[in-house]
C-alpha cells in the first residue's frame, strides 16, 4: 500500500482554497495525509469502476430506490458480506441534517433522537465552507463540546445521555472535490467526506461504545461494494481499529 508523509504533504496535496485557522482542526497535515493515502491507493480503481458502469443498467434503474443494509468486514479470509443492521437501531427516532449546520445540530439534540444522520451528498450542492464547517461540527459533537451549547444542556449526566450514534452520508463515488487535488488529480468527494470524518472521530466513537456508520450512495454492483470493503479494511488497519469496526448502508 502507498503511504505519504506529513513532512512533505503539500508536495502531494494542493488545496485550492484558503484555509482559515479554524479550518485547520479538520484540515490538519495528518488528516490530509490520510485522505491522500485513500486517493493514492484507491482512486485508479474508482475511476476504472466508474468507466465500466453500464449505461443501459443506469437507465433502466433510474427512478428506482434500492436499499439494503450491509456490514463491510475485512480480514485475511473474509470478504465483505451483506447483513441486516436493523437491530442496530430498534428505536427509529432519528434526525436527518443536511448540511451539518451547528444550529440545526443543537436543535436536534433537544429532540432526544437516537440517531443523527448527516448528509454531505452532492444533490445538496454544498459550498466548501459548509463542508468543512460540517466536519468541524461533527468533530465537536463526537467530542461533546457542542452539547454544552444545546438549549437543554444541564450537566455532565445530561451530556452522557445526549451522546448518540452518527451516520454520515458522503458524496458519491462519481463526484470530485474540486478544491483538493492529489498529485494534480481531484480527490474523490466520497474519499474526502468519509476520510475526514473517520480520521477525526472513529477512535472516539469506539471509546463511546459506538462505531462509524456510513450510508454509501449510488453503489451499482458488487465490485463497487468490494472497493468500499477494501477501503474500510485499509482504514481499520491504518487507524488501528478492530476488524469490522466500520459499518455501512447502501
Q: Give pLDDT tens digits for 27-73.
A: 999 999 999 999 999 999 999 999 988 664 655 555 554 444 444 44
Bigger pLDDT: 160 vs 18: 18
Would residue 4 be called left, alpha or beta, if left means φ above 0 and alpha means ψ between -120 and 50 degrees? beta
- What are the Cα distances from residue 28, in Å, to 3, 20, 110, 181, 206? 16, 12, 31, 15, 22
Range of the domain at 101: 6-249
Residue 238 forms part of a structural domain: yes
Residue 103's pLDDT is 62
Residue 69's pLDDT is 44
d(CA 132, CA 213): 19
The DSSP annotation for 219-240 comes to --SHHHHHHHHHHHHHHHHHTT
- What are the Cα distances from residue 114, in Å, to 11, 18, 123, 162? 43, 36, 25, 9
Q: What does pLDDT average to over the chain?
A: 77
3-state secondary structure of 247: strand
Query: What pairing do the DSSP bridges indicate for beta strands 115-119 and 166-169?
Result: parallel
Dihedral through CA 130, CA 131, CA 137, CA 141, nearest 10? 140
Supply the CATH number for residue 128's domain: 3.20.20.360
pTM of the model: 0.78
Residue 170 forms part of a structural domain: yes
Is residue 192 reached through a cis peptide bond, with omega within 30 degrees of 0 on the bond before it? no
d(CA 196, CA 35): 7
Q: Give the mean model confidence (pLDDT) for residues 18-23.
A: 92
Q: How many domains does the chain have?
A: 1
pLDDT tens for 119-173 read 887 555 578 888 998 899 888 888 765 555 555 545 444 444 456 678 888 999 9
The DSSP symbol for 149 reads: G
Residue 85 forms part of a structural domain: yes
Residue 75's pLDDT is 37
Residue 134's pLDDT is 87
Residue 1 forms part of a structural domain: no
Q: Give the mean model confidence (pLDDT) for residues 193-222.
A: 90
Query: What pairing do the DSSP bridges indicate for beta strands 115-119 and 94-97?
Result: parallel
Greatest mean pLDDT range, 98-107, 152-161, 202-211, 231-240: 231-240
Amino acid at each position: 500500500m502507498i503511504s505519504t508523509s506529513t513532512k512533505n504533504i503539500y508536495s502531494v496535496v494542493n488545496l485550492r482554497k484558503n484555509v482559515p485557522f479554524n479550518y485547520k482542526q479538520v484540515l490538519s497535515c495528518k488528516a490530509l495525509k490520510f485522505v491522500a493515502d485513500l486517493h493514492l491507493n484507491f482512486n485508479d480503481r474508482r475511476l476504472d469502476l466508474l468507466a465500466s458502469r453500464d449505461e443501459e443498467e443506469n437507465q433502466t434503474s433510474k427512478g428506482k430506490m434500492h436499499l439494503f443494509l450491509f456490514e463491510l468486514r475485512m480480514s485475511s479470509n473474509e470478504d465483505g458480506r451483506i447483513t441486516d443492521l436493523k437491530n442496530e437501531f430498534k428505536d427509529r427516532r432519528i434526525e436527518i441534517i443536511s448540511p451539518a449546520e451547528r444550529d440545526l445540530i443543537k436543535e436536534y439534540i433537544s429532540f432526544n433522537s437516537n440517531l443523527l444522520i448527516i448528509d454531505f451528498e452532492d444533490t445538496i450542492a454544498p459550498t466548501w465552507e459548509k463542508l468543512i464547517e460540517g466536519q468541524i461540527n461533527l468533530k465537536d459533537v463526537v467530542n461533546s463540546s457542542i452539547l454544552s451549547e444545546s438549549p437543554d444542556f444541564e450537566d455532565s449526566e445530561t451530556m452522557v445521555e445526549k451522546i448518540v450514534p452518527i451516520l454520515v452520508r458522503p458524496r458519491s463515488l462519481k463526484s470530485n472535490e474540486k478544491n483538493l487535488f492529489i498529485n494534480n488529480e481531484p480527490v474523490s468527494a466520497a474519499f474526502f467526506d468519509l476520510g475526514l470524518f473517520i480520521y477525526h472521530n472513529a477512535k472516539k466513537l469506539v471509546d463511546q461504545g459506538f462505531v462509524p456508520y456510513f450510508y454509501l450512495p449510488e453503489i451499482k454492483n458488487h465490485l463497487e461494494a468490494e472497493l468500499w470493503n477494501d477501503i474500510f479494511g485499509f482504514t481499520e488497519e491504518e487507524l488501528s481499529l478492530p476488524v469490522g469496526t466500520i459499518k455501512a448502508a447502501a
